[in-house]
Chains A and B, each alone.
Chain A
C-alpha cells in the first residue's frame, strides 16, 4: 500500500466518531471574513505611520508630484550609491536620484552574488496594513522577484495611500487574487529583527537592515 493510502486509512479509522456531513455543517466557524478593524486612535494613514515607525523603520509622506524627490532623499538617507530596480518600476520615479547608479535585470537575472554587491532596492508595494504596520509585496513587475527585496541591505519602498487598509482581514481579501494567480507574497513589518538572545530585540539580521517607507498621499 502506498504511504498516502495508508495515512488516509489511518485518518479515516481515527475519525469514525465524526458524522458523514459536510465539514461546514459539522463545525460552525463564527467569524465574518474581510471586515475592517476598529482602529484605536486617528485615521488609517496616521496609525499606519505610527505602527511602521514602532518597528524603527523610517516613514516619510509626500504628494505624487514629489515622489522622485522623496526617493532621491531616501536613497541618500540610507547611504546607498547603487541600487537594483524591478523591471516594471516607473522609471520617472528615479528622475531626481542623481549620484546613484541603477542596475536592472533587462539583460537577464542577476546572481545572488551580484545582488549582494548592491546597496539598495527601490520598489512599489501591493497592500499595507495600518493596525500592524505591515507592507505586503505581491511581487508584481513594479516590485520584482523576491530576491531583489531581500539581498540588498536597504529597501526604499513606495506605498500609495489607497493601498493602506485598516487591518489584516481586509488585506488578506485584497491579496487573494495575486495568490490565485500563483504569485508569492512577502509580508514586511519593519526591518529584519531577532529576539533570540535573551529576548532582547535586535534590528537587522539577514533581510534589509534599513527599511525606508515613502507614503504617497493621493487625492483627498
Chain B
C-alpha cells in the first residue's frame, strides 16, 4: 500500500491527546539542550519587555479588573450574547455556522472550501483551527492549507508542532530556521534565495518571497478571531506581520473559526482589550496591525464571508462555576512566558496546542480527564503563582491548578469504584492528621523524630534519596534532617516564663 502523496509538509505522527504524561514528556524535552537554551533566552527577553510595557500603564490593575469583569459577564450570559452576535453578523452579510465539536467544525469548513472549487487555502495564525486540527482534515480532503505566520511557517515546513501560542517556533533558533527554509521552501513553492544566511531580517525576507505568490493567487482564506463583537457583528484579528491582512483582504472567500467564548458584548469593550492584549503578549504598546471587519464590506475584501462558532468542549468548562474562569483567557501567552516550568520544558511537553499554565487548567476542562496527559497537567506546576499575577484578565491560575488537581483525584476515585486504591499524598495527610489530632501522639512522634535527627545530624545536613515509596518524594527533593529539638522544647526553655498564667 502506498500512501497518498502529501500536499503540505507532514506533521509528526500521532495525536496530541495520546501524548505521554507530563513528567515523562518533560524528561524527554529536558534532554534537548539547544531547545532549553533557546527557550531560556526567549522567555527572559519577553518577560522583561512585558514588565516595561505594563509598567508604563498607571491604571493597569483597573484595566485587568475591567477585562476580567467583561469576560465574566459574557460567560455567565453567553446565550444572549451569542444570539446577538449571530444576528449582527448575519445582518452584515456573513453566514454563521455552529459546530458541536472538532469533527463538525472541520466538515463545515471543508464543505465551504469545496463549494468554491479551490484546492488550497491561506491561513491566518489561529489557535482554534489548531485545536480542531483543521490542516490535517483539509489535507485528507485534498485541500492544501498554507500557514502564513512566520513562526507557523517555520513549524509547518519543519514537520514540527507549535510549542507556544504566540511564538510557535520559540524552540527553534536562527540557524535551525535557515536550514528548514533552505531544505523545504522549494518543495512547496518559491524556494529560499540560495546563499541564505541566518540573519533574522534575511530569513523574514525569504518568508515574504515564499508566501507572496500564495497570497496573490489565494481564493480562500481561513482565520480565527481574537474577539467577536456582539453589538456591531465584527471580528477582530490582532497580528504583527501583515500576513493576517493579506488573508483577510485579498481572497474572495473568508472562513473564520471562532470559539464561543470569544464574544465581547460591545465594540466599546475593545478599548479595554486593545490595551491589555498587546502589552501582555508581544509586550508592545500596540501590535503592528489590527483588522476589524463586519461581515462583507462592499467593494472591499472577501464578499463570501463565513463564521463557524465552535464549542468543542468549552461548555464542559463552562459547567464548572469555578473552573469556567479559565475561559476568560485571551491567549496572550504572558503566563507561559513567566512560568519557571515552561521555561525549562517548553510547550511540547504539555500534549496540547495550549501549553503552559493556562493549558494545564484549560485542557483537562475542555478535553476531560480521561487521558493520561490531561490527568497529569494540573500537576505540571510548582504553584509559584507568577502566572496569576501577570494574567491580563485575572484568571486565578494557581488556584485553578489546585482545583483541577482535586478533580483529577476525584475522577480516579470514581473509577476505582469502592476498590481501595491508596494514593501516597492523601494517605500521608491522613496519617499526619491522626498524629496531630492528639498531643500525646504528637509528642511521641516528635520524640522519635528528635532521636532520628540527632543520629542523622552527625553525618549529614539533609536526607537524600529514600527507598520506595518515599522515593517518589525524595527523588526530586531533599528533605532537611528532623530538628534535634522540638518547638515545644525550645518554648519551654526560652519563653515559658512569658506565658500569662
B-contact 0/1 string along A1-30, CB 8 Å cutoff: 011101110111111011000011011111
Q: Is the CB of B287 within 8 A of A189?
A: yes
Q: Is the CB of A179 within 8 A of B79?
A: no
Contact of A190 among B97, B249, B288 (CB under 8 A): B288
B49 smallest CB distance to A (angstroms): 8
Where chain B touches its partner, the secondary structure class is: helix
CB proximity to A under 8 Å, residues B284-325 = 284-295, 297-301, 309, 311, 315-316, 318-319, 321, 324
Q: Is the CB of A29 within 8 A of B73?
A: yes
Q: B496 in the interface, Cβ–Cβ < 8 Å?
A: no
Q: In the complex, what residue of chain A is closest to B207 when comparing beta carbons?
A: A205
Q: Is the CB of B70 within 8 A of A29?
A: yes
A-contact 0/1 string along B47-64, CB 8 Å cutoff: 000000000101000100
Among A61-69, A70-78, A95-103, A195-203, the one that faces the other chain is A195-203
Q: In the complex, what residue of chain A is closest to B80 when comparing beta carbons?
A: A23
Q: In the complex, what residue of chain B is closest to A206 when comparing beta carbons?
A: B242
Chain B residues contacting A112 (CB-CB under 8 Å) are 215-216, 250
Contact of A199 among B77, B167, B265, B324 (CB under 8 A): B167
Q: Is the CB of B289 within 8 A of A199?
A: no
Q: A188 in the interface, Cβ–Cβ < 8 Å?
A: yes
Considering the chains assembled together, what is the distance between the CA atoms of A188 and B289 in angstroms? Answer: 5
Q: In the complex, what residue of chain B is closest to A171 when comparing beta carbons?
A: B271
A109 smallest CB distance to B (angstroms): 7
Q: In the complex, what residue of chain A is closest to B324 when comparing beta carbons?
A: A14
Among A145-153, A156-164, A212-220, the one that faces the other chain is A145-153
Q: Is the CB of B315 within 8 A of A27?
A: no
Chain A residues contacting B72 (CB-CB under 8 Å) are 27
Q: Is the CB of A179 within 8 A of B289?
A: no
Considering the chains assembled together, what is the distance between the CA atoms of A129 and B271 in angstroms? Answer: 12
Considering the chains assembled together, what is the distance between the CA atoms of A180 and B88 in angstroms? Answer: 10
Q: Is the CB of B301 within 8 A of A184?
A: yes
Considering the chains assembled together, what is the distance between the CA atoms of A192 and B208 in angstroms? Answer: 11
Considering the chains assembled together, what is the distance between the CA atoms of A116 and B98 in angstroms? Answer: 37
Considering the chains assembled together, what is the distance between the CA atoms of A184 and B235 in angstroms? Answer: 10
Q: In the complex, what residue of chain B is closest to A183 when comparing beta carbons?
A: B297
Q: B76 in the interface, Cβ–Cβ < 8 Å?
A: yes
Q: A93 in the interface, Cβ–Cβ < 8 Å?
A: no
Q: Is the CB of B285 within 8 A of A10?
A: no
Given contacts A112-B216, A172-B271, contact A14 B315 (CB under 8 A): yes
Among B4-12, B38-46, B135-143, B476-484, the one that faces the other chain is B38-46
Q: Is the CB of B274 within 8 A of A168?
A: yes
B-contact 0/1 string along A100-122, CB 8 Å cutoff: 00000000010011001000000
Given contacts A205-B243, A206-B245, contact A193 B288 (CB under 8 A): yes
Among B169-177, B342-350, B436-444, B447-455, the one that faces the other chain is B169-177
Chain B residues contacting A183 (CB-CB under 8 Å) are 294, 297
Q: Is the CB of A194 within 8 A of B241?
A: yes
Contact of B285 among A13, A51, A202 (CB under 8 A): A51
CB proximity to A under 8 Å, residues B378-408 = none
A-contact 0/1 string along B197-238, CB 8 Å cutoff: 000110111011001100110000000000000001010000
Q: B275 in the interface, Cβ–Cβ < 8 Å?
A: yes
A114 smallest CB distance to B (angstroms): 10
Contact of A11 among B38, B293, B295, B318 (CB under 8 A): B318
Interface size on A, residues (CB 8 A): 79
Q: Is the CB of A184 within 8 A of B291?
A: yes
Q: Is the CB of B289 within 8 A of A145?
A: no
Q: Is the CB of B294 within 8 A of A6?
A: no
Contact of A186 among B66, B70, B245, B318 (CB under 8 A): B245
CB proximity to A under 8 Å, residues B237-278 = 240-243, 245-246, 248-250, 260, 265, 267-268, 270-272, 274-275, 278
Chain B residues contacting A24 (CB-CB under 8 Å) are 73
Chain B residues contacting A27 (CB-CB under 8 Å) are 69, 72-73, 76
Given contacts A139-B300, A202-B204, A206-B242, contact A184 B318 (CB under 8 A): no
Q: Is the CB of A195 within 8 A of B56?
A: no
Chain A residues contacting B234 (CB-CB under 8 Å) are 179
Considering the chains assembled together, what is the distance between the CA atoms of A7 and B272 in angstroms? Answer: 28
Considering the chains assembled together, what is the distance between the CA atoms of A12 and B319 in angstroms? Answer: 9
Given contacts A31-B66, A206-B246, contact A184 B73 (CB under 8 A): no
Given contacts A146-B249, A179-B294, A184-B292, contact A198 B69 (CB under 8 A): no
CB proximity to B under 8 Å, residues A124-174 = 129, 131-134, 139, 145-147, 150-151, 167-169, 171-173
B61 smallest CB distance to A (angstroms): 11
Q: B335 in the interface, Cβ–Cβ < 8 Å?
A: no
B195 smallest CB distance to A (angstroms): 18
Considering the chains assembled together, what is the distance between the CA atoms of A194 and B316 in angstroms? Answer: 36
Q: Is the CB of B274 within 8 A of A3?
A: no
CB proximity to B under 8 Å, residues A52-67 = 54-55
Q: Is the CB of A185 within 8 A of B240?
A: no
Q: B16 in the interface, Cβ–Cβ < 8 Å?
A: no
Chain B residues contacting A28 (CB-CB under 8 Å) are 69
Can you show 12 pairs from A to B with CB atoms below 8 A apart? A7-B100, A23-B265, A29-B69, A29-B70, A145-B299, A182-B294, A186-B292, A187-B290, A187-B291, A193-B288, A202-B201, A205-B207
Binding site for B on A (CB under 8 A): 2-4, 6-8, 10-15, 17-18, 23-24, 26-31, 33-34, 38, 40, 51, 54-55, 109, 112-113, 116, 129, 131-134, 139, 145-147, 150-151, 167-169, 171-173, 175-176, 179-180, 182-200, 202, 204-208
